[in-house]
Amino acid sequence: MPKLWNETVDAHRNAVRQAILDATWALVSEHGMTAVTMSQIAQKSGIGRATLYKYFPDVDTILLAWHRHHVTAHLEQLAAVRDKARGPAARLNAVLTAYARISYHREQHGAELMAFLHRDDEIAPARRQLVDLFRDVIGEVMAHGDIRDDIAAGELAGYCLHALSAAGALPSEAAVHRLVRLTLDGLRPPGARVRG
């Protein structure tokens, strides 16, 4: 049964890969990006250096793989949150809250690592998928007349993503929820407001 055997090999390779990513992340979080070596990563993930080099050529490549893994996971998480919520307004609320929470937990990285990951061009398609996901959820609420339609859904999506990234500097989950409320309030139809 070669198919089953291949699946076993794949599962093993994925497990090793994940162990390497986790070990690297733990080391970088503790010691900083430039202080971590391939030897330390091999030791921490419990594999030989020769095996490690069969998976990744250097620390930078591992960090980029780790980052892409997380970006993909976050996109999947947002899609799952979207699919679980019932009705357009609930979907928007759920997606904004989930993204704010991700931003809240993400910004713990040092500036050096952030700058390094920022340079990764391969993240661009995921970034576009993120904007598209927001735009579609917003467009659906707009079609029901429950948010403003004087600004295009794509521009509203950009506003939401940037506004919610302020969560990275917030001190508590309560503050994150206030930020979601604030961002949502910007989306309300201007006609639904009494002007002061």
Q: Where on the chain is the footprint of a copy of itself (CB under 8 A)? A: 111-112, 114-116, 118-119, 121, 146, 148, 150-151, 155-156, 158-159, 161-166, 169-170, 175, 178-179, 181-183, 185-190, 192-196
Using alpha carbons only, give the angle 190, 181, 97 rounded to the nearest 5 degrees.
125
CA 35 to chain centre: 25
Judged by beta carbon, residue 44 or residue 74, the one nearer a copy of itself is: 74
H or E stretch at 3: helix 2-31
Judged by beta carbon, residue 7 or residue 122, the one nearer a copy of itself is: 122
Judged by beta carbon, residue 21 or residue 156, the one nearer a copy of itself is: 156
CB of 47 to a copy of itself, least distance (A): 31
Judged by beta carbon, residue 94 or residue 164, the one nearer a copy of itself is: 164
CB of 165 to a copy of itself, least distance (A): 5
b/e burial code for range 130-144 (CB count within 10 A of at least 16 → b): beebbbebbbbbbee
Which residues touch 182 (CB under 8 Å, ≥6 apart)? 163
